[in-house]
Amino acid sequence: MLITFIRSIILYLLVLIVMRLMGKREIGQLQPFELAISIMIADLASIPMTETGIPITRGIIPILGLLIMHLIISVLNLKSIKAREIICGKPRILIYRGKIDEQALKKERFTINELQERLRGNNVVNMGDVEYAILETSGQITVIQKPNKRTTTPEDFNIMPDYEGLPYDLVVDGKIMTKNLKLIGKNETWLKKEVEKFGFKPEEALIVTFDGKGQIFCQKKGEKDV
C-alpha cells in the first residue's frame, strides 16, 4: 500500500511538471497533437501507478519521451508554416459575408444545429447577425458580427478614455507583495498609511489593490462589506 502511495506521488509530480512545461492552455484550446499527448500521458501514468509489479520507469521514460516529442513539434510549429498546417490544420470559414458555406460544414462534419449552438456560446442568438464565423484549429469558433450589430466602443463616438493600466495586488491574505510595491514606486510605509485610512493594518487585509488611476480597493479579513 505504501509503495503504491509513493509511486502515485512520484508520477503525479512528474505529470504535473510535464503539463506545466507544455504551456498554459485551456482544454478547449489544445491543438490536436497536444490533446493526443495529454491523453497518452494520462494512460502511461495510470498503469505503473496501480500495478506495483511494473517498474515505475516504464511510465516515467515514455512520459519524458512524449514531452520531448511535444517540444520538437512545438518548435516545428514556430519555425515552419507548412509544418504548422500539417500538424494543426488551418482555420476554416463557416460563414462568409453573412452566408453559410455548406461545403465547409460538410468537410468539418458540422451540422446547422451545432453551428447555432456554437454561435449562442458566443452570445449570438440570430444567425443573420453574423458576418463571419471561423472554425479555429483548436475547435473553437470565432464570430465577427455585422457592423450594425457589433457592440459600440468609445472610438465609435470619437471618445478617448483615460489610460487605466493593470491593477496591482499590494496585499493578499495579509501578506504584503513587496515586488508589486516596487513596480508602482511605493514602499511599505506608504502602504501602511493608505490602508490605515480604512481603519486597519495591512496584515489584517484580505486584499489591497492599486489601479492605474491611483485608486485603492481594500477589504479587511472577515468583512463582507468594504
pLDDT, tens digit (0-9, with 9 covering 90-100), for 106-143 = 998 888 999 999 999 999 989 899 999 999 887 889 99
Which residues belong to CATH 3.30.240.20 in the chain?
A: 92-149, 168-220
Yes or no: say if 175 and 206 are a contact pair by the CB < 8 Å rule.
no
- Residue 27's pLDDT band, with cuts at 50, 70 and 90, is low
Highest mean pLDDT among 19-33, 68-82, 83-97, 177-191: 177-191
- Residue 213's pLDDT band, with cuts at 50, 70 and 90, is confident
- The sheet that has 175-176: what strands, in order across it? 175-176, 168-172, 205-210, 216-220
Q: Read off the pLDDT of each residue in 195-221 and give the average, rounded to a whole number.
A: 91
pLDDT at position 21 is 76
> Would the pTM of this model clear 0.85, i.e. be above it?
no
Yes or no: say if 191 and 184 are a contact pair by the CB < 8 Å rule.
no
pLDDT at position 226 is 43
Q: Is the pLDDT assigned to residue 29 strictly greater than 70?
A: no
Q: Which CATH architecture has domain 92-149?
A: 2-Layer Sandwich (3.30)
Selected from 1.20.120.160, 3.40.50.2300, 3.30.240.20, 3.20.20.70, the CATH number assigned to the domain covering 168-220 reads: 3.30.240.20
Q: Is the model more confident about 82 or about 27? A: 82
- Residue 182's pLDDT band, with cuts at 50, 70 and 90, is very high
As a whole number of angstroms, the distance between CA 180 and CA 164 comes to 17
Yes or no: say if 148 and 141 are a contact pair by the CB < 8 Å rule.
no
The b/e string for 195-211 (b: 16+ C-beta within 10 A; e otherwise) is beebeeebeebebbbbe
Q: Is the pLDDT assigned to residue 100 strictly greater than 80?
A: yes
